[in-house]
Amino acid sequence: MNGAESLVSTLVDQGVDICFANPGTSEMHFLAALENPKMRSVLCLFEGVATGAADGWYRMKGTPASTLLHLGPGLANGLANIHNAKRASSGMVNVIGEHSTSHLKYDPPLTSDIEGLARPLSHWVRRADSASAIAWDATQAVNKASEHPGQIATLILPGDTSWQEAGTPMKPKIATPQRKAPNAARIEHVAKVLRSGETALLILANTATRGTALLRAGQVAAATGARLASQFFTARIERGAGRVPIERIPYAVSQAQAFLKGFKHLITLETTEPVAFFAYPDRPSLLKAEGTSVHALVEADEDSELALDMLLDALEATATQPLRQAQVETPVPTGALHPTSVAHALAAALPEDCILVDESLTTGRESMGLTMGARPHDLINNMGGSIGYATPVATGAALACPDRRVFCMVGDGSAMYTIQSLWTQAREELNVTTIIFANNSYAILKAEYANMGAGTPGARALSMIDIDRPRIDWLAMAKSMGVPAVAVDTAEGFHQAMVRSTLEPGPCLIEVRL
């Protein structure tokens, strides 16, 4: 067994059985090792697709995937979606190819400071220094990536450690991920706040927005009158009919301030107090009202389910029934397409247990509240703000949950960052419906231009925001990558296209012409 085979074998032994790859010359031995029948290898035509797909896999599976990237430039191409994954607390194991140790001294053209590139967005970075140590290195990488919250682990693999004989490696024990128990005094303090009768908002994030933890939060809300919310962007929320409803703190500063104004207490679970996404002239960074107190119930590395169980005990409310969202039968909309009709079409069309990946920005920003009563589904948002995340994350989510339809809503400007995802979806026959909102501009930037107080954009500024010269042919783009596509320009047409997309397996694209 050579070093590369030892690495793949170790990854598989620890449950990391998928690799999103964009390989180069230095990674040929690792590529050969991917013949291991227990490892699924998925080719991505851009490194940002590979890292984003690993993010999507983790969000739905809760276990890390691996990526294979080509030297420093390959890592650099994938960093934007590593950033998004880190902000979403997704775990992943990145394997970065490197020149052989003896070759590095000659400074060949692809030489770079891989550690320097990786460290700002990785929780753990190591360079493998021998084939015999790779199994140990890989085990440490997976252990780190599997922590709570998920971590980014980066293992640099010099070519010679791949091809040299590994011998019989000593494999360290696989660690069982542990979540810290919250402080009991902190639980009692929050219980006292909730018993006071003063207005309170529980802000949920990460694992608190799904599963048993979300049900427990619904019990707390029912018992105390506190309201539940999430930050505007969250890693994954279980929502829809029958689930505990969570309000969404608005994106815009003035709207967020208005939403938060009535609360005396903000209680956070696996997140921090609400902060403006950007700094704006003459507007605050912190969004809470003056005099509002912030209480951390659950820190990022703690167990939300346990904390909420303890809180219910302290409140003597363990038998309380949780709040649940009623199903809302939304009529199929007709006529023009706009954020409200788009949301109504979504609410009417989303099938039960689907996954909705949202990067719709201007079109979807105000409409998610109108889908709360739709059939039960999971919603995934972009935590890091680097655009081009949605189509890769949808790809990874579809591989993680092959029996569930994934809907990916993305603006046309964002989609162009990682449109290569369509090719991987076609090759892997993934059940992804990609919805392109085509307004032929970076519409989000037009709004931000005004928010920043930069005045009225001139012709040159507008030319840097509009993307209509030339207009992107989305139907041709999809066809070229093996994905069937259709264009719609009415609300009823959009609804029909979504419903039809669920009737046949495999990917498709809907261009929504705004």
Please give the pLDDT value at position 415. 95
Number of residues written out for the chain: 514
Structure tokens at 328: 């809302």
Please give the pLDDT value at position 507. 98
Q: Where are the beta strands (DSSP E) in 311-439?
A: 354-359, 377-380, 406-411, 432-438
List Cβ neighbours of 479 (8 Å cut-off, separation of 6 or more): 485
Q: How many CB atoms lie within 10 A of CB 185?
A: 7
CA quadruple 335, 341, 346, 348: dihedral positive or negative? negative
Tell me the pLDDT tens digit for each residue of 450-507. Answer: 666 677 778 787 777 677 789 999 999 999 999 999 999 999 999 999 999 999 999 9
User: What are the φ and ψ backbone dihedral angles of 380, each rounded to 5 degrees?
Assistant: -120, 130
Whole-angstrom distance, CA of residue 421 vs CA of residue 424:
5
Please give the pLDDT value at position 221. 98
Which residue type occupies 163?
W
Please give the pLDDT value at position 460. 80
Which contiguous run of DSSP H or E holds residue 195?
Answer: helix 184-195
Please give the pLDDT value at position 177. 76
Structure tokens at 215: 């049900």
CA distances from residue 442 to 44, 427, 437, 455 in whole angstroms, order as listed: 26, 30, 11, 17
Tell me the pLDDT tens digit for each residue of 7-36. Answer: 999 999 999 999 999 998 888 899 999 999
Please give the pLDDT value at position 458. 80
CA-nearest of 6, 343, 365, 340 to 164 is: 6
Please give the pLDDT value at position 466. 77
Structure tokens at 391: 């189509």
Pairing of strands 354-359, 406-411: parallel
**CA dihedral of 371, 377, 379, 380, whole degrees rounded to 10:** -160
Please give the pLDDT value at position 176. 76
Rounded mean pLDDT of the chain? 93
pTM: 0.94
Please give the pLDDT value at position 448. 65
CA distances from residue 420 to 22, 69, 302 in whole angstroms, order as listed: 12, 16, 37
Structure tokens at 159: 């070519």
Residue ranges, the chain, pLDDT below 70? 169-174, 365-366, 441-453, 465
CA quadruple 496, 469, 365, 436: dihedral positive or negative? positive
Please give the pLDDT value at position 171. 65
Please give the pLDDT value at position 509. 98
